[in-house]
Amino acid sequence: MSAACLVADSGPLIALARLDLLGLPSRYFEQVLVTSSVWLEVTRKPGVDEAARLSSAAENHLFRVVPDPAAIPAALLRTSIDAGERSAIALAIEREATLLLDDRRARGMAAESGRPVIGTLGLLVRAREEGFVAALRPLVEQLRSTGYFLSDGLVADALSSQNE
């Protein structure tokens, strides 16, 4: 059974585009939303493969780009998180949605706002557990080879949970 709504931030979208797995969020959530600020971040200077994959995912309705929320909570405005993260968290609060976030500070702000959070690694673990991806380690290695940051501790925990 899929959950109602997920609001995605730029980091996980870029990671999933690099892995050609932008369809994963829509496997687990009825609606996947991307704010205008996040969309601008991911389309500003994407790699060739990322750009094509992101455009294709949007055209195939794997997610929907929506305007940034009109109201951003004051607590979010006082933080050092970026505009995309602020807009994603504000939209998740407004829609009572889960957040797809990797940035540690943004995850902390989401937790303070009471919104559930899943990261790229958590989504990949779920896909591995359900047999949608054969192995986690090659995906982690592929992301790291492109410069995508994943903490050693989280990677070790994720791989261990999958006996890899």
Residues 6+ apart with CB under 8 A from 29: 2, 3, 4, 5, 6, 98
Which residues are paired to 100 by β-bridges? 8, 118
- Whether the full predicted model's pTM is greater than 0.85, yes or no, is yes
Q: What is the mean pLDDT of residues 103-124?
A: 90
Q: Where are the beta strands (DSSP E) in the chain?
A: 3-8, 29-35, 64-66, 98-100, 117-118
Average pLDDT, the chain: 90
**Which of 68-72, 126-130, 159-163 has the weakest average pLDDT?**
68-72
Quick one: DSSP state of residue 70?
A: S
State the pLDDT at residue 1. Answer: 37
Model confidence at 2: pLDDT above 70: no
Segment 16-39, tens digit of pLDDT: 999 999 999 999 999 999 999 999
